[in-house]
Amino acid sequence: MTSPTNSGTGITTVYKVTGMTCGHCEGSVSQEVSAMAGVTSVEAVAATGLVTVVSAGPLDDEAVRTAVDEAGYELAGRA
């Protein structure tokens, strides 16, 4: 499990999400996580199950879990 990194443009955290299989899945997860306060960008990749989130500050993992759940997928943890 890796820690978030601060790139100067925000904090980048990579999460592992299970159940994504296509572009629609990626869009659903991205939309829900993007709606979180402080999130500036989200990249979800179904092929790897990785979701890269850039935020202005640290994110609460449980809040991310809730957003992923709302999209219909499961947060396995940080990658």
Question: Digits of tens for pLDDT over the chain (79 positions)?
Answer: 456 767 667 999 999 999 999 999 999 999 999 999 999 999 999 999 999 999 999 999 999 999 999 999 999 999 9
Domain residue spans of the chain: 5-78
- Helices 61-71 and 23-34 cross at an angle (nearest 10°) of 140
State the DSSP H helix or E strand holding residue 34, giving kind and residue range, or none if neither.
helix 23-34
pLDDT of residue 11: 95
| Architecture field, domain 5-78 | 2-Layer Sandwich (3.30)
pLDDT of residue 13: 97
The single-letter code of the amino acid at 25 is C
- pTM reported for the whole predicted model: 0.91
pLDDT of residue 2: 57
